[in-house]
């Protein structure tokens, strides 16, 4: 894999295209120091499954 940082790669005889990458928020992890009934704050929990950026 190569990251293009400027002009097109078409003149090099290589595949000249783009590949999109999306980052999605996962399930918030619990803090082992806290009691198990302490839930993550709503502002963190509501990010689960949403795209970052």
CA 33 to CA 28: how far, in whole Å? 15
CA 6 to CA 4: how far, in whole Å? 6
Residue 19 has pLDDT above 70, yes or no: yes
Structure tokens, 48: 């689960």
State pTM to two decimals: 0.51
Q: What is the mean pLDDT of the segment spanning 14-36?
A: 84
The reported pLDDT for the residue numbered 20 is 79
φ, ψ at 11 (rounded to 5°): -70, -15
Q: What stretch of H or E contains 45?
A: helix 42-45
Structure tokens, 27: 């399930």
Which residue carries 């078409």 as its tokens?
10
């Amino acid at each position: 894999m190569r990251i293009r940082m400027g002009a097109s790669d078409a003149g090099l005889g290589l595949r000249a295209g783009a590949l999109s990458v999306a980052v999605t928020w996962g399930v918030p992890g619990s803090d082992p120091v806290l009691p198990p009934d302490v839930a993550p704050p709503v502002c963190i929990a509501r990010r689960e499954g949403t795209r970052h950026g």
